[in-house]
């Protein structure tokens, strides 16, 4: 009863608008319509200006949108990319992803995002799902620093790029985490801190490793090497930071400052400091990393190293796109920046 509408009224036109719909209305072949509506870049065998104009008008009036499935089938290009993150509920990754989606949208791409939970099996499973969806490439926000799990992609020849975390020998867009670690160290050194501790994040991530590495290097170069027992791995969330800080504060004399490689971990550290009746920024200074919006709003503002998360997402997508399109590319390091707030102060005597 509600069939393909044989009323002669051309405007509301039931059903989806296809090239054929337009071709019939314009009294022309679908090929012609396709060629007219193709992006000007690949404008070969063009039509007469009048025909083109007429076709464009009809297409606009009907609200024609090319069917991505038909197009993908023919061109073998889906204009889809997969994005793998450890957890989307991690604000840092969510923000990076916003950048990715932003850039992808502008380039006419859509993204599937999915979380791997930093779990090997799940990562393989999700990658498989993305490949089954025929994505044009994959952006990895969860790469382990040893590059394991990238073999499959290389082997299959799937374009990919890393974002947030780097791995030697693979294309990536990351914050210059080594420099960021140094910034934190220099800030604390300038405030007179000599006896410090590090909440170091997960040891299989370049973010944790590099930030810690840069920090330790700067202290060592300044003549105040940080002993091993003052460095402790941790999760990247509040709980992880709190647990690591409790362990660090429990043993021996109190450090005068703690550097956490992630803001949420730093918030956990501040909680642990408070639990001992101390105030962050007075008895114990605390530095975080990333500068999430929350950092500025805390009762005691968190001193932190700002990383350009949104920008990182955008550039990460741009890098992936360059690889997909076979253009030249290179890995990128984005500059971090120190933001001093109330959680750091001069070292107590």
Partner DNA sequence: CGACTCCGCCCAATCGTTTGGGCGGCGTGC
Partner DNA sequence: GCACGCCGCCCAAACGATTGGGCGGAGTCG
Interface positions with a copy of itself (CB under 8 A): 65, 67-70, 72-73, 78, 87-89, 91, 94-95, 97-98, 101, 105, 110-115, 129, 131-134, 237-239, 242, 264, 267-268, 270-271, 274-275, 293-294, 297-299
Own/partner pairs, 57-64, CB within 8 angstroms, 24+ separation: 58/22, 58/25, 58/26, 59/17, 59/22, 59/33, 61/11, 62/13, 62/17, 62/21, 62/22, 62/25, 63/17, 64/17, 64/18, 64/19, 64/21, 64/22, 64/37
**Residue 242 contact partner, candidates DNA, a copy of itself, none, CB within 5 to 8 A by sort of partner:** a copy of itself
**Smallest distance from DNA to CB 38, Å:** 6
Beta strand pairing call for 332-334 and 172-175: parallel
Strand partners, 319: none
What does R_g of the chain's alpha carbons equal in angstroms?
Answer: 27
Question: Length of the chain, please?
Answer: 349
Q: Which is nearer to DNA, 52 or 254 (CB)?
A: 52
x/- track of binding to DNA for residues 34-63 (CB under 7 A)? xx-xx---x--xxxx-xxx-----------
Euclidean distance between the first and the last CA atom of the chain, given in angstroms as a whole number: 87
Query: Nearer to a copy of itself by C-beta: 254 or 298?
Result: 298
Q: Give the single-character DSSP code of 306.
A: E
Residues between 11 and 30 that touch DNA (CB under 7 A): 16, 18-20, 27-30
State the nearest-atom distance from the C-beta of 136 to DNA, in Å: 14
| Residue 32 interaction partner, one of DNA, a copy of itself, none, beta carbon < 5-8 Å per kind | DNA
Q: Please give the residue ranges that form the binding site for DNA (CB under 7 A).
A: 16, 18-20, 27-32, 34-35, 37-38, 42, 45-48, 50-52, 64, 66-67, 69-71, 73-76
């Amino acid at each position: 009863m509600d069939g393909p509408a044989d009323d002669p009224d051309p405007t509301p036109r039931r059903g989806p608008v296809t090239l054929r719909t337009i071709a019939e209305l314009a009294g022309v072949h679908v090929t012609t319509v396709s060629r007219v509506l193709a992006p000007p870049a690949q404008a070969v065998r063009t039509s007469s200006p009048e025909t083109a104009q007429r076709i464009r008008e009809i297409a606009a009036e009907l609200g024609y949108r090319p069917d991505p499935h038909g197009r993908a089938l023919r061109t073998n290009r889906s204009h889809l990319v997969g994005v793998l993150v450890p957890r989307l509920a991690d604000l840092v990754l969510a923000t990076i992803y916003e950048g990715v989606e932003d850039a992808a949208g502008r380039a006419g791409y859509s993204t599937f995002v999915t979380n791997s939970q930093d779990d090997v099996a799940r990562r393989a499973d999700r990658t498989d799902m993305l490949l089954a969806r025929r994505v044009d490439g994959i952006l990895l926000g969860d790469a382990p620093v040893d590059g394991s799990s990238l073999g499959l992609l290389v082997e299959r020849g799937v374009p990919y790029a890393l974002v947030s975390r780097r791995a030697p020998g693979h294309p990536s867009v990351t914050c210059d985490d080594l420099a960021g670690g140094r910034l934190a160290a220099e800030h604390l050194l300038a405030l007179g801190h000599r006896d410090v501790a590090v909440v170091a994040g997960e040891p299989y991530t370049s973010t944790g490793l590099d930030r810690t590495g840069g920090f330790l290097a700067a202290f060592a170069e300044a003549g105040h090497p940080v002993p091993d027992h003052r460095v402790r791995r941790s999760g990247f969330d509040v709980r992880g930071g709190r647990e690591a800080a409790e362990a660090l504060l429990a043993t021996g004399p109190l450090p005068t400052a703690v550097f956490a490689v992630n803001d949420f971990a730093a918030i956990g550290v501040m909680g642990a400091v408070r639990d001992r009746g101390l105030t962050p920024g007075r008895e114990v200074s605390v530095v975080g990393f990333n500068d999430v919006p929350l950092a500025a709003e805390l009762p005691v503002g968190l001193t932190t190293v700002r990383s350009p998360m949104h920008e990182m997402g955008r550039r990460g997508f741009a890098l992936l796109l360059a690889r997909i399109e076979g253009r030249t590319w290179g890995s990128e390091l984005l500059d971090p920046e120190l933001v001093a707030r109330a959680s750091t102060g001069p070292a107590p005597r």
